[in-house]
């Protein structure tokens, strides 16, 4: 019997955050293309990669925790 693994809340939240930050970065890029002096879009576009990195760290930590749990159960 093959069991399907559930994605935990930390993993789900991190993936959602990464996707949301990428979507916002795309929106900021569109705004900057229309108005290169849109200061809000320029500032926000500088912060979006930091949000992706933060969520990637959460994803990494969740992955390490899952691996440690599997090691403990083995």
Per the domain annotation, does 40 fall within a domain? yes
Whole-number pLDDT of residue 50: 95
Whole-number pLDDT of residue 41: 97
pTM comes to 0.73
Whole-number pLDDT of residue 1: 43
Per the domain annotation, does 10 fall within a domain? no
What are the tokens at 54? Answer: 């933060």
Domain encompassing residue 41: 19-69
Give the separation between CA 40 and CA 25, rounded to whole angstroms.
12
Per the domain annotation, does 63 fall within a domain? yes
User: In the chain, which residue ranges form alpha helices assigned H by DSSP?
Assistant: 9-34, 39-73
Per the domain annotation, does 7 fall within a domain? no
Per the domain annotation, does 25 fall within a domain? yes
Average pLDDT over residues 7-34: 92
Per the domain annotation, does 47 fall within a domain? yes
Domain count, the chain: 1
pLDDT range class, residue 3, cuts 50, 70, 90: very low
Residue 7 reports pLDDT greater than 70: no
Give the separation between CA 34 and CA 39, rounded to whole angstroms.
12
Q: Hey, is 13 helix, strand or coil?
A: helix
Average pLDDT over residues 5-31: 89
């Amino acid at each position: 019997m093959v069991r399907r693994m559930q994605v935990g809340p930390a993993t789900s939240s991190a993936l959602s955050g990464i996707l949301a930050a990428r979507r916002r970065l795309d929106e900021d890029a569109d705004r900057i293309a229309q108005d290169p002096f849109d200061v809000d879009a320029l500032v926000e576009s500088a912060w979006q990669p930091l949000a992706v990195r933060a969520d990637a760290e959460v994803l990494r930590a969740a992955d390490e925790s899952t691996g440690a749990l599997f090691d403990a159960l083995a």
